[in-house]
A and B are shown apart, each in its own frame.
Chain A
Amino acid sequence: MAGNDSCHPVATDSVDASIRAGQHYVALVGPPNAGKTTLFNRLTGLRQKVANFPGVTVEHHVGRARTQQGREVFVIDLPGVYSLDARSEDERVTADVLTGAKTELGRPDSVVIVLDATNLHRHLLLAAPVLALGLPTLVVLNMADDLAARGGSVDTAALAAQLGAPVALVSAAKGDGVEKVMQFLEGSLARPHSTTKRVELPVLQDLPGCRTWAGQIGTKSGYRAPAPPVWTRRLDGIFLHPWLGPLIFVLVVAAVFETIFSGAQPLMDAVEKLIVTSGNSLAPLLPEGLLRGALIDGVWNGVGSVVVFLPQILLLFLFIGVLEDSGYLARAALIADRTMSRVGLQGKAFIPLLSAYACAVPAIMATRTIENTRDRIATILIAPFMTCSARLPVYLLIVAAFIPETAPFAGPIGARTAALLGLYIIGFLAAIVTAQLLRSTILRRERSTFILELPPYRMPSLRSLALRLWDRALIFLKRAGTVILGVLMVLWFLANFPRTNGQPPDPEHSYAGHIGHAAEPAIQPLGFNWKVGVGIVASFAAREAIIGTLGTLYGIENADKDSDKLQEALRADLTPAGAAALLVFFAFAMQCFSTTAIVRRETGGWFWPTVQFSYMTAFAYCSALITHALVSARI
């Protein structure tokens, strides 16, 4: 897994000259797993944000570091790459930034290359092309503590003389040696004077030649490679044990589920309560009428319906952060690979698909750890079939309305539980069927490959976990405050206009009602009336929006999934067959504006989101049609 943040945000600032503000500009570059992001966090702390270059999906963290003399330095954290070959987008952007081909910023004033000291030979492969650029460069050998603990050593002065660049031995996780990086940022770290003859830089295209060069450099600088990590061996003996390994894997997955569903519930309830009460107490401050309606019902409650998911998403990221930083995530991907390869996916798809049970948006962003384009597209296309948490309130409402609480299913399992479980299972099965279908159709020609580096186990640092969560929270709130807000405003407008004598129309005659009526011929065969149709239209912004919309249409205030009145109204308006069809439709349909937006961004065009949207909607429609026919025939 990449050591840097595996998930990237939706809304970001664009990189242009103003972001640099004329300050000294330093680029941070390094291979994955070298601890580059940890060093970046050490240097900038909270004074960082995410930005992207126009026209590319690769994003970076940019931040400001303050040196001891109070000088502000602009730092950009480039994506982790093994080379500057420009084969992947990450590599292309890194090469463009370092050569100044990205004219927005110009060439960096200096470069900090972060390498893993415990794996110097391999990581020096990246140093060759970076040093060849001729910019003032600091070579940071990170993981100094690991190197020493495992009996390795290196003569930094000799290495500096060989490379012609200053070298700092650092432990970014512990903070040791970071002051040397600060000195370099101040410009006070002198370039070493070479007394012995340096090994010439190799021809960059010749990888074996580069490796020979790295080996010579290592020998001349007295590099003693550390012993293989003993603790990692021992832990792998447990975590990859033939039967203990899979057992621990299942327990970890179960713990993640338990936490994001049960554990997050009290927090989510608290957030919801906070939003409703604050909305109610804010309302009297505004004059009665359109403004109050738009601000409180449209904006406040709308954004609230999204912010409610914040605790759940943060808990999910906390889990993923601990698993990734500790090194277990790579082992989980390894264990999952065998099973995933059977359906044409690979082990690294496991984390995105697990995340998709909370929300498809972070899941699709997490597919960036999959370098193989074919595998990545396949994972992106099936991720929204996983039952995300926005579907759950809809499921709960309809299941509660149509299945009595005491109805039995089998033994101690009630019919309600069985129905919910069934919905999770059909979503999962649809994903598998789709993956198989992709393998034999549009993604047939390309091969799936799996190469995974297993980093040593490490203790996750609280500091970097906290920074990561802070980052996630800001990005999520920003998204809720922009895209989703806009869509909700439009929906509120559609449900409350046109006005007659300044009064909102009754739902049937609102614009939303007209849309619902227009959709009726299409949804009648599924057993839905126009009100459900409006709900479905609203749910394309966000699935759970159907609940609030139906509440409005049936004239029930503060409708939520537990509302008895709403359940009653649904029972009166929908046949059991229609209810079953609605559930199936929700299980399969791509009703999420944010997901479509993120798929467009991550795949760099409208092709894949269009394919995905059409396929899922058609799949959902046909399945709902069949379900309706089957259930109607049986009753």
Chain B
Amino acid sequence: MQLDTPKPSPYPKSRVQLSFNKLRGKKLESVQPTSLADLRCGQHAVLGDLDVADELRRRLMEMGFFPGSRIDATGCAPGGDPRIYRVDGSEIALRAETAAQIRIRPLAAAAD
């Protein structure tokens, strides 16, 4: 089944939304990706919040992961995990479990 227009979610972008997307799985292509793990190879988005521990957040920022930056999914390791992202001029590999904790917005919605 395919939805024609994605309805705005009544919930804020939260874990409820995340598990909801997970439940409905890959069939709902049109549901907007909410975490970096949903981003497919070749797609791009704008980074949102980094829902990770402080230590890891600082480290990600040092690697160029700032909320508001453009991020491109450029590839992955054989087997699909870890994935490779291009952000702020460098290519960084992350495991899917870390990528799932990083929120994203579609590029069109970016204010800058």
Contact = CB atoms under 8 A, between A and B. Distances in A.
B91 A454 contact: yes
B40 interface: no
A347 interface: yes
Contacts of B91: 232, 453-454
B110 to A, nearest CB: 15
A85 interface: yes
Nearest to B95: A450
B61 A451 contact: no
Interface stretch (A96-104, A283-291, A295-303, A333-341): A333-341
A560 interface: no
Contact of B90 (A122, A335, A338, A450): A122
Contact of A121 (B74, B78, B82, B89): B89
B98 interface: yes
A119 B77 contact: no
Given A207-B61, A451-B63, A338 B81 contact: yes
Contacts of A236: 75, 84
Contact of A451 (B75, B76, B94): B94
A240 B98 contact: no
B94 A335 contact: no
A196 to B, nearest CB: 24
> Which of B63, B79, B93 has its CB near the most chain A CB atoms (within 10 A)?
B93
Contact of A334 (B67, B89, B93): B93
Contact of A240 (B58, B61, B66, B76): B76
A122 B55 CA distance: 18
A381 interface: no
Interface in B9-58: 55-56, 58
Interface string A324-359: 000000000011011001000001000000000000
Contact of A337 (B59, B60, B64, B77): B77
Contact of B66 (A211, A228, A451): A211
B62 interface: yes
Nearest to A81: B62
A242 B92 contact: no
B62 A246 contact: no
A122 B93 contact: no
B74, B76, B84, B95 — most chain A CB neighbours (10 Å): B95
A560 to B, nearest CB: 44
Nearest to B53: A447
Contact of B88 (A122, A232, A246, A454): A122
A634 B5 CA distance: 73
Contact of B93 (A233, A245, A451): A451
B58 A225 contact: no
A241 interface: yes
**Chain B binding site: helix, strand, loop or mixed by DSSP?**
mixed
A125 B98 contact: no
A559 B98 CA distance: 55
A243 interface: yes
Given A122-B64, A208-B66, A451 B81 contact: no
Interface in A242-275: 242-243, 245-246
A36 B88 CA distance: 21
B66 A452 contact: no
B78 A241 contact: yes
Given A82-B62, A87-B58, A449 B95 contact: yes
A337 B55 CA distance: 21
B62 A125 contact: yes
Given A122-B64, A125-B62, A347-B82, A450 B93 contact: yes
Contact of B61 (A208, A232, A449): A208
A450 B85 CA distance: 13
Contacts of A334: 77, 82, 84, 93
A335 B77 contact: yes
Nearest to A233: B74
Interface in A173-209: 207-208
A451 B90 contact: no
A118 interface: yes
Contacts of B75: 236, 240
Interface in A536-575: none
Interface in A61-116: 82-83, 85, 87
A453 B63 contact: yes
B86 to A, nearest CB: 7
Contacts of A125: 62
A453 B92 contact: yes
Contacts of A242: 78-79
A337 B91 CA distance: 16
A450 B84 CA distance: 12
A152 to B, nearest CB: 10
Interface in A214-228: 225, 228
A337 B56 contact: no
B92 A454 contact: yes
Nearest to A336: B77
Contacts of B98: 449-451
A454 B74 CA distance: 12
A451 B60 contact: yes
Contacts of A337: 77, 81-82, 93, 95
B95 A207 contact: no
Contact of B86 (A121, A228, A371, A451): A228
Contacts of A121: 88-89
Contacts of A450: 82, 93-95, 98
Contacts of A85: 58
Lowest 7 CB-CB distances: which A-B pairs, in order? A82-B62, A454-B91, A245-B78, A452-B93, A119-B89, A207-B61, A334-B77
26 contacts: A82-B59, A82-B62, A85-B58, A87-B55, A87-B58, A207-B61, A236-B75, A240-B77, A240-B84, A246-B78, A334-B77, A335-B77, A335-B78, A338-B79, A450-B82, A451-B59, A451-B60, A451-B93, A452-B82, A452-B92, A453-B63, A453-B92, A454-B84, A454-B90, A454-B91, A454-B92
Given A335-B78, A450-B94, 20 more contacts: A83-B58, A87-B55, A119-B88, A119-B90, A122-B90, A207-B61, A208-B67, A211-B66, A240-B77, A240-B78, A242-B78, A242-B79, A245-B77, A334-B77, A337-B95, A338-B81, A452-B93, A453-B63, A453-B91, A454-B92
Interface of B: 55-56, 58-64, 66-67, 74-79, 81-82, 84, 86, 88-95, 98
